[in-house]
């Protein structure tokens, strides 16, 4: 079984009755969140006879558009000028800006949490992680990544062609910014290994996601 270690994120001291969440850092600004839910406490009755639900989700702060982070913080009433990553993770998870990875039900919460930890460890493999993030998670066919970013309608990623006015790109590294922007618009994913990823690429990617999920207008410097 997996030895993936999760730490407490939020919840009641009596989490068995009232639920709780735990987190595990799995990459640069990328976290897995495990939640325990008691069906009777939360909904008044068991789910098909099962008392507990454990879910595993991912919150990738680098892949979320800035407006989504702001909305998440506003939703939970966080007024910190410079919130920590864990504050952002907790806010995004509560707000729903998360990628569903797995969900389990039974009357044995310990077994469910073990299963969620094992899945988290399995997704340390980049290929398995990419497959999980591309998996449809709702009836519209939205992938886990798109769902987290706010595109719940399942619009398929694809190639993007645009005429770019490089001198007007709002970055000191316009090539990296533009490349990231096009990936974000097209529905691409950031790589798991981000050690050599240019800051301008990430900034452009997040701006592209803003446009794709209709949180912001297309910039004047890029014409499709």
| Pair (129, 188) in one structural domain | no
Average pLDDT over residues 120-129: 97
CA 161, CA 220: separation in Å to the nearest integer? 15
Task: Identify whether 204 is part of a domain.
Answer: yes
Q: How many CB atoms lie within 10 A of CB 106?
A: 16
Q: Is residue 206 part of a domain?
A: yes
Residue 36 has pLDDT above 80, yes or no: yes
> pLDDT tens digit string along 77-117?
998 989 999 999 999 999 999 999 999 999 999 999 999 99
In sequence order, which residues have a C-beta less than 8 Å from that of residue 89 and are 6 or more positions away? 9, 23, 31, 33, 59, 61
Q: Does some domain include residue 155? A: no
Query: What pLDDT does residue 181 have?
Result: 94
Residue 157 has pLDDT above 70, yes or no: no
pLDDT at residue 190, rounded to an integer: 96
In this predicted structure, which of 30-39, 145-154, 193-202, 215-224 has the lowest mean pLDDT? Answer: 215-224
First and final C-alpha spacing in the chain: 49
Q: What confidence score (pLDDT) does residue 1 get? A: 45
The β-bridge relationship of strands 20-27 and 30-38 is antiparallel
pLDDT of residue 166: 87
Q: What angle do CA 216, 179, 219 make, to 5 degrees?
A: 30
User: Is the domain of 46 the same as that of 107?
Assistant: yes
Tell me: do 138 and 176 sit in the same domain.
no
The separation between CA 74 and the C-alpha centre of its own chain, rounded to angstroms, equals: 17
Most confident of the ranges 45-59, 148-162, 205-219: 45-59
Q: Which residues pair with residue 54 across a beta bridge?
A: 36, 104
- Let me know whether 133 and 181 are in one domain: no
Q: Three-class SS of residue 115?
A: helix
Q: Is 156 among the domain residues? A: no
Confidence tier at 152 by pLDDT (50, 70, 90): confident
Residue 205, pLDDT above cutoff 60: yes
Residue 78 belongs to domain spanning = 7-149
Could you give the number of structural domains in the chain?
Answer: 2
Residue 174 sits in the same domain as residue 215:
yes
Asked if 107 and 192 sit in the same domain, the reply is: no
- What pLDDT does residue 156 have? 56
pLDDT of residue 216: 74
Answer yes or no: is 158 within a domain. Answer: no
DSSP conformation class of 203: H
Closest alpha carbon to 95 in 115, 121, 69: 69
Please report how many Cα atoms fall inside a 13 Å half-sphere around the Cα of residue 162, on the Cβ side.
21
Number of H helices, E strands in the chain: 9, 7
């Amino acid at each position: 079984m997996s030895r993936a270690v999760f730490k407490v994120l939020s919840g009641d001291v009596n989490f068995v009755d009232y639920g709780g969440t735990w987190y595990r850092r799995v990459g640069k600004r990328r976290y897995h969140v495990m939640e325990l839910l008691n069906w009777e406490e939360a909904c008044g009755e068991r789910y098909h006879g099962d008392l507990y639900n454990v879910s595993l989700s991912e919150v990738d702060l680098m892949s979320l558009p800035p407006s989504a982070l702001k909305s998440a913080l506003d939703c939970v009433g966080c007024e910190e000028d410079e919130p920590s990553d864990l504050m952002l993770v907790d806010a995004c998870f509560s707000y729903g800006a998360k990628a569903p990875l797995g969900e389990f039900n039974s009357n044995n919460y310990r077994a469910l949490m073990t299963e969620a930890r094992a899945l988290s460890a399995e997704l340390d493999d980049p290929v398995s992680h990419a497959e999980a993030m591309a998996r449809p998670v709702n009836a519209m066919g939205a992938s886990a990544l798109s769902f987290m970013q706010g595109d719940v309608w399942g619009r398929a990623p694809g190639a993007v062609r645009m005429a770019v006015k490089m001198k007007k790109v709002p970055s000191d590294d316009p090539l990296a910014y533009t490349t990231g922007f096009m990936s974000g618009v097209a529905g691409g994913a950031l790589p798991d290994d981000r050690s050599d990823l240019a800051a301008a690429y990430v900034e452009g990617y997040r701006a592209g996601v803003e446009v794709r999920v209709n949180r912001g207008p297309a910039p004047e410097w890029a014409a499709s």
